Structure 1
Amino acid sequence: MTEAQDPRTIRPTTRPTTKATVGMRVTHRRYVPYSYAHYAGNLVDGAYSLAAFGDVATELCIVTDGDEGLFASYSDVQFRSRVQAGDVIEISAELVRVGRRSREMDFEVRVVARGDEEGGGSAARVLDPPVVATTARGVVVVP
């Protein structure tokens, strides 16, 4: 069998199609456990938000391209308000630009509920409106 006949050497000639379109959005919600408190006042470090951005970016790439993608960069990261243990946060990624292999996204962490220390032990309250805690823009590359 020659190399040209060997099916293991055949390379696809067409690129897989993407479902990525500007405006697509993925949103996660999660409770921030007290084990993540890093500073006084149960404050959680900013890296927690960045890790959450990675999670929503991964899901968005799976939905659009069938691949987890690889984070290439963050830009314009802004910590606008605190995230603390006992919060319920909502993390979103919105596709703002689609390149041949790159996907540019806007990210946002919103605190939608917070533990209520004055209410005692397990008291909490829904925040209306939610508090925007962290924003960023990032680029993910897919194969």
Structure 2
Amino acid sequence: MHEYSLACDIIENVISTAELNNAKEVKEITLGVGKLTHVNPEQILFCMETLVEDTIARGARIIIQDIYPDMECECGFSENGEHFYTTGDISTDDIRAFLEVPCPACGKILHASGGMEIIIQSIDIEQ
């Protein structure tokens, strides 16, 4: 389960950043997870909640936000992938929603750009 090692790195960065800012407590962590990362958000959340137990982030609210790829075509069409994900034929949480998507402007296959990142978007601390 690579989610555990990712969660370890994330929590280490959160704690380090909080301590550098003289935090007494971490109240909230917002993590952006790209839809094309092959990371299970529920598993990473579980790992993070477990890892904060004996730290200044104990009890912190952990929010995971989806990061969708941009869908682009050589004809110049571009749109955020959330539109294709929520209106596509794929009803499950599946990266296939971003594969072989025809461009609504010209019919060519769209290219997914981005959506492969995991980003600590914010850390809310109390000093």
* TM-score of the alignment, normalized to the shorter chain, above 0.5: no
- Superposition TM-score, scaled by structure 2 size: 0.27
Select the structure that is richer in helix: 2
- Superposition TM-score, scaled by structure 1 size: 0.25
> Which protein has greater RCO, CA pairs closer than 8 Å, 6+ apart?
2
